[in-house]
A and B are shown apart, each in its own frame.
Chain A
Amino acid sequence: MIDIFNNTLISNSIITAFLFIGVVTYFSYWISKNLTGGLIHGSAIAIVLGLVLAYIGGLLEGGTKGLADIPIFAGVGILGGAMFRDFAIVATAFGVDIRNLKEAGFIGSVSIVFGVVFSFLIGALVALSFGYTDAISITTIGAGAATYIVGPVTGTALSASTEVIALSVAVGLIKSILVMIMTPFIAPIIKLDNPYSAMIFGGLMGTTSGVAGGLAATNPKLVPYGAMTATFYTGVGCLLAPSVLFLLVDFFI
């Protein structure tokens, strides 16, 4: 009986994921309404709940895909993977106002380059203060502070040690998770309530998952503007970190 039940869920994995995410969302909106009086938005709770489930999944299975490593939740990994995420992000662009895009186009591009260098420097300085002295490790950890993709791409290009690469991924993951959780609360303080600052925000943060999650829980209308700059960030990071930024670190070390 239980086998037949499990097999039904596993062999229809994406459908199972639709149902599961629907239930999680319903539960989250219920918490939002009844326990926080609507103070914390339902989607913010759903994202945090997702992260908690990912942690539990990691503990149970010891894999790298959070909840999606549990066979019956494999579909969550597909639904939440880069393919569907990017597809939905492109769809959000349908509501974009070209005037807003043009107005913030220049500062948006500046913020991407500034964001990569800024994050890199902070990561590199932290690595330095924790006792790393070789340019390759410092660069790799700095790159991880950009995003968890820039870190390993840079580390591999410079042949950093596997421990340092893993560390750079951890830095990028923490960044992404914190952006997801904190953005809805910080947004009013930093006036993140218009397309213009959303584009700057996307360029400075750069983590597509973090920005996608953070803005979803803040104001879904801002998503395309933030995502627009954020999706360029990782590419720019992979371009600058192993080249110019590495040479810069190497020069000063």
Chain B
Amino acid sequence: MVVYGVALLSFCMLAGVFLGQLLGYLLGIDANVGGIGIAMLLLIFIANKKSMAIKIDASTKSGINFWNAMYIPIVVAMAAKQNVLAAISGGWMALTAGVLVVVLSFIAVPILHKLSKSKEH
């Protein structure tokens, strides 16, 4: 049933966020450490486990895939609720720092990629 997929997704997210918050607490910081990443790993683990009690049939899948497909619309809504005004009114220093960080990080992507690949060979 479709709701099983949605419920499975909800379970993974809540478990991940809880563990992330707990991890943050144990490290003594007021932040969630990788909760969503943990949730993703949990879903991948469950989805790939053949001997799982929960069988993921086609209709269960469609419950997950609906939210997968809603990803881009949600991101558009996310863009529409950003505090763009505050970003722009941050002045030259904020702009300089923001632009430099993004440009240099873009440049670092292929460099890190190359370094990691050359180490393997």
A residues lining the B interface (CB < 8 Å): 17-18, 21-22, 24-25, 28, 43, 46-55, 57-59, 62, 64-68, 73, 76-77, 79-81, 84-96, 98, 101, 106-107, 110-111, 114-115, 118-119, 122-123, 126-127, 130, 141, 144-145, 149, 153, 166-167, 169-180, 182, 186, 190-192, 196-197, 200-201, 204-205, 208-209, 212-213, 216, 220, 223-224, 227-229, 231-232, 234-236, 238-239, 242
Contacts and interface: CB of A to CB of B under 8 A. Distances in A.
Contacts of B72: 25, 43, 46, 216, 220
A114 B68 CA distance: 30
Chain B contact patch, size range: 35 or more
A58 B78 contact: no
Interface string B77-121: 111111111111111111111111110111111101100100000
Nearest to A230: B37
A46 B78 CA distance: 11
Contacts of A213: 75, 78-79
A65 B77 CA distance: 11
Given A50-B80, A201-B109, A88 B70 contact: yes
Given A94-B47, A98-B48, A89 B93 contact: no
Contacts of B1: none
Contacts of A216: 71-72, 75
B76 interface: yes
Given A58-B84, A126-B100, A232 B105 contact: no
Contact of A94 (B16, B65, B101): B65
B7 interface: no
A126 to B, nearest CB: 4
A94 B33 CA distance: 21
Residue in B9, B29, B30, B39 whose Cβ sees the most chain A Cβ within 10 Å: B29
A51 B98 contact: no
Contacts, number: 314
B97 A50 contact: no
A176 B31 contact: no
Nearest to B70: A88
Given A173-B84, A232-B34, 15 more contacts: A24-B76, A52-B84, A54-B79, A66-B85, A92-B40, A93-B39, A107-B113, A119-B105, A145-B101, A170-B91, A171-B97, A186-B106, A204-B108, A227-B37, A231-B37
B34 to A, nearest CB: 4
B53 interface: no
A80 B64 contact: no
B101 A223 contact: no
A242 B28 CA distance: 11
Contacts of A94: 43-44, 47, 61, 64-65, 68
A123 to B, nearest CB: 5
Greatest chain B CB density within 10 A among A197, A204, A223 is at A204
A23 B41 CA distance: 34
B82 A66 contact: yes
B110 A190 contact: yes
